Chains A and B, each alone.
Chain A
């Protein structure tokens, strides 16, 4: 790139262009005004989406990154602008999402003086960023941003924050941008120990009941094809974590379901019956393991992850392999023996049938009068044939969607997993649609979470973003209510919620929509939603006290997962 004496603010924009950034989510304010002023000259080159709250900006950037794989970019001002990013940073860190946040900061001579809108954003964001840096000189901007993009997107991805003082934005520099390709103290891509992978293959080849658990690491490594090849050759049953959904097609004969607290029956129970457990790109979250002291104790455990700190963190493994999922799967596929494991697979199918009869049939085709969340999700799944990006919020509707939507395609599932951030879905869906404009993007949200970031309807209005919104309304904070019912003696402490007229609110933002209260209106409702060329809101009134089952109560072992309400929930 050529040498031009330009302002630090312009250098920010030019650096972003050099990183092929096409979309920025942001909100202006005093300390970032020079950057916004520079942006004014680049309106044709980059699409800036004005959000209604900085939390919306970062969730949108997360949705963007999760949908299209590129690093999400956020602009926010100092002080409250920056502190409003914190929830999103924590969410992106725990869910490994590449995001670069650029925050304005008071002029460097005012640092530490309690100046107007000054906050120690570096200090505050430190525990929730993969890396952060404060830039006080214009000349340091290009290198800081180059490093930020490199760190955010490589290895185990994560959020990075670059705080730029106002004087650095005004200062001049000779602009030269060079992409970062290495940092001495940072090793994003481990040197794979192939001898360990050979050992793993040996263990797997000898196994009678091998079992493969996959997580988001497959998607982040873009290892879907390698996974498919490995599974088809080895014949090993595959189960997915919440964030891994979509990494392996749900209709594949070797797919046995979704793991964890509200996951499928068979994949949880049989975790404690396999002889070799192979976990790739997942981190044994407590929602997956239940009681760790009774988790897969009988099995030889092989764990492959790109983050060394995840190995032996929760579950003591027999073979911990620090490697990239794509590389590891490709290597193992060549050595793995062709098998079918038909008998072992039948064990899953048998338990699956129990779940189908006890839970799923009634969930997707209820006999009761009231609409269930599960039948709505099932219908959306059937109608779209899985060809949509589904963005969920947090709570019952999220678990129901994870259970009843048949994810077929990579990056078709965007949800707040590790942090469990209510209010995530609406802005994340906005970002996802901008990341993948040709895709149908459907946000499925509860009535509680919708109101946590409801202001982002304004972003949809202004930027004309065709996201489809489904509110599954039970007039309850449903997941907490379910726990109150099962574990707190039905003491519904502050979980009943009086809701506004969502359709009128949507109308206020020029978003069309309608409300479904009867089963016979549902199909039309979903069809209208999907047929709409612009954003559309479908509110579905669902059974108030529907519970999500199966369920793994706190402290229970995966093999003690409770199939249905009939089996009680007291452990």
Chain B
């Protein structure tokens, strides 16, 4: 049965490692729903969050293949229930003073905030789950969204073991 899996992996900061990882998905005809990467709590170690829809059997094999890569320190997979996850979205609207009250109400309701304001346009930020981000988009649509950008998912696992524990084991 297919479901959403969050693959968290930790790599050395080497050129090409992202390519090596994505090849593993491409080769199995597996679509990556989202991918984010940045330095993690250990200096020089990069953390990737990759979201895929696939079967448990397949995700286990993929994680094994990822971990087999020389520059990968560790890889894990988690179902949605086992992680705390979040996405970030930015919305650019034309600044419209006439509608100020209405927009304020929407922003309060969605727990979003204004990042920047100029006479021409306003940038709004919202963090949340995809459905929250899409709900805000739907409400803002009437005001003419000029641009909309959304990050991939970042996720933190609920189990307490840290990467450093795993590194010590190695």
**Closest Cβ neighbor of B44 among chain A residues:** A184
With a cutoff of 8 Å between Cβ atoms, the chain A residues found around residue B16 in the complex are: 122-123, 126, 132
Q: Answer yes or no: A153 CB below 8 A from chain B CBs.
A: no
Flag if B73 contacts A127 (CB, 8 Å). no
Q: Answer yes or no: A185 CB below 8 A from chain B CBs.
A: yes
Q: Answer yes or no: A499 CB below 8 A from chain B CBs.
A: no
With a cutoff of 8 Å between Cβ atoms, the chain B residues found around residue A14 in the complex are: none
Known: A122-B16, A127-B27, A134-B15. A184 touches B170 (CB 8 A): yes
Flag if A185 contacts B23 (CB, 8 Å). no
With a cutoff of 8 Å between Cβ atoms, the chain A residues found around residue B15 in the complex are: 122, 134
With a cutoff of 8 Å between Cβ atoms, the chain B residues found around residue A127 in the complex are: 23, 27
Q: Which of A122, A123, A131, A134 contacts B70 (CB 8 A)?
A: A131
Which segment of B61-69, B92-100, B101-109, B141-149 sits at the interface? Answer: B61-69
Q: Contact flags (1/0) for A126-148 with B, using CB distance below 8 Å? A: 11001111100000000000000
Q: How many residues of B contact A (CB 8 A)?
A: 21
With a cutoff of 8 Å between Cβ atoms, the chain A residues found around residue B71 in the complex are: 131, 185-186
Centre residue among A183, A185, A186, A313 by max chain B CB count within 10 A: A185
**Measured between alpha carbons, how far is A133 from B68 in the docked complex, in Å?**
17
Q: Answer yes or no: A1 CB below 8 A from chain B CBs.
A: no
Flag if A309 contacts B23 (CB, 8 Å). no
With a cutoff of 8 Å between Cβ atoms, the chain B residues found around residue A571 in the complex are: none
Known: A126-B19, A132-B16, A134-B15. A185 touches B64 (CB 8 A): no
With a cutoff of 8 Å between Cβ atoms, the chain A residues found around residue B64 in the complex are: 308-309, 311, 313
Kindly provide the distance from the CB of B135 to the nearest chain A CB, expressed in whole angstroms: 40
Q: Answer yes or no: A375 CB below 8 A from chain B CBs.
A: no
Q: Answer yes or no: A151 CB below 8 A from chain B CBs.
A: yes
With a cutoff of 8 Å between Cβ atoms, the chain A residues found around residue B67 in the complex are: 308-309
Flag if A312 contacts B70 (CB, 8 Å). no
Determine chain A's interface SS by DSSP, over half rule: mixed
Flag if A185 contacts B72 (CB, 8 Å). yes
Task: For chain A, residues 327 to 366, give those with C-beta under 8 angstroms from any C-beta of chain B.
Answer: none
Flag if B12 contacts A185 (CB, 8 Å). yes
Q: Answer yes or no: A226 CB below 8 A from chain B CBs.
A: no
Task: For chain B, residues 1 to 34, give those with C-beta under 8 angstroms from any C-beta of chain A.
Answer: 11-12, 14-16, 19-20, 23, 27
Flag if A312 contacts B60 (CB, 8 Å). yes
Task: For chain A, residues 111 to 127, give those with C-beta under 8 angstroms from any C-beta of chain B.
Answer: 122-123, 126-127
**Measured between alpha carbons, how far is A439 from B68 in the docked complex, in Å?**
36
Flag if B73 contacts A184 (CB, 8 Å). yes
Q: Answer yes or no: A187 CB below 8 A from chain B CBs.
A: yes
With a cutoff of 8 Å between Cβ atoms, the chain B residues found around residue A130 in the complex are: 70
Known: A132-B16, A134-B15, A185-B11. A309 touches B70 (CB 8 A): no
Centre residue among B12, B15, B16, B60 by max chain A CB count within 10 A: B16
With a cutoff of 8 Å between Cβ atoms, the chain A residues found around residue B73 in the complex are: 184-185
Q: Which of A184, A185, A309 contacts B61 (CB 8 A)?
A: A309
With a cutoff of 8 Å between Cβ atoms, the chain B residues found around residue A131 in the complex are: 70-71
With a cutoff of 8 Å between Cβ atoms, the chain B residues found around residue A313 in the complex are: 61, 64
Q: Contact flags (1/0) for B71-99 with A, using CB distance below 8 Å? A: 11100000000000000000000000000
**Measured between alpha carbons, how far is A329 from B114 in the docked complex, in Å?**
66
Q: Answer yes or no: A307 CB below 8 A from chain B CBs.
A: yes
Centre residue among A133, A134, A187, A309 by max chain B CB count within 10 A: A309
Kindly provide the distance from the CB of A500 to the nearest chain B CB, expressed in whole angstroms: 39
With a cutoff of 8 Å between Cβ atoms, the chain B residues found around residue A185 in the complex are: 11-12, 70-73
Kindly provide the distance from the CB of A90 to the nearest chain B CB, expressed in whole angstroms: 12
**Measured between alpha carbons, how far is A341 from B15 in the docked complex, in Å?**
55
**Measured between alpha carbons, how far is A151 from B20 in the docked complex, in Å?**
16
**Measured between alpha carbons, how far is A82 from B76 in the docked complex, in Å?**
35
With a cutoff of 8 Å between Cβ atoms, the chain A residues found around residue B27 in the complex are: 127
Having A151-B70, A183-B70, one finds 8 other A-B pairs with CB under 8 Å, namely A126-B16, A127-B23, A130-B70, A133-B14, A134-B15, A184-B73, A185-B11, A313-B64
Q: Can you show 27 pairs from A to B with CB atoms below 8 A apart?
A: A122-B15, A122-B16, A123-B16, A126-B16, A126-B19, A126-B23, A127-B23, A127-B27, A133-B14, A134-B15, A151-B70, A184-B12, A184-B73, A184-B167, A184-B170, A185-B11, A185-B12, A185-B70, A185-B72, A185-B73, A187-B170, A308-B64, A309-B64, A309-B65, A309-B68, A313-B61, A313-B64
Which 6 pairs show the lowest CB-CB distances between chains A and B?
Answer: A309-B64, A131-B70, A185-B73, A309-B68, A186-B70, A127-B23
Q: Footprint of A on B, CB under 8 Å?
A: 11-12, 14-16, 19-20, 23, 27, 60-61, 64-65, 67-68, 70-73, 167, 170
